[in-house]
Amino acid sequence: MLVIRDKLCTGCRLCEQICSMEHHREVNPHLARIKIESKWPAEEKIIVCRQCKTQNCVKACPQKALSFDGYVKLDEKACDGCGQCLEACPFGYNLRNKNTGKPVFCDTCSGNYSCVSWCPAKAIRKGGA
């Protein structure tokens, strides 16, 4: 589970860059599975799947396209992009693949949690399950 501390985020967006590098080998924040929302003068908001215990997204999916095994896994073929999973998220997570319209979820970078390692402000950390 990811523990987020919005207050510590400086808005450097290194996490977005690292995430897109990990998954697509290119620096492109639009491809990242984490997003920093800036609404100055309010503090930054870190948008990422927390891998939370409720798993409301998994329960909400009418296509049974989601499963949970330490993180949310998407069956791309079963998903029709309806967005009910995102609407059910208690943290307001809402990131979709710009090309397919289907949701994207943090996959922990195979357990390496690259954003956690690289965030200089320690605004993202790995918590207990």
Where does this chain bind ligand SF4 (CB under 6 A)? 9-15, 36, 44, 46, 60-61, 63, 65-66, 74, 79-85, 102-103, 119, 121, 123-124
**Sequence letter at residue 7:** K
From the CB of 79, what's the least distance to ligand SF4, in Å? 3
**Is the CB of 24 or the CB of 59 nearer to ligand SF4?**
59
From the CB of 87, what's the least distance to ligand SF4, in Å? 8
Task: Report which DSSP code applies to 7.
Answer: G
From the CB of 108, what's the least distance to ligand SF4, in Å? 16
From CA 50, how far away is CA 91, in angstroms rounded?
8
Other residues' Cβ atoms within 10 Å of the Cβ of residue 47: 18
Decide: 67 and 78 in contact? Cβ < 8 Å.
no
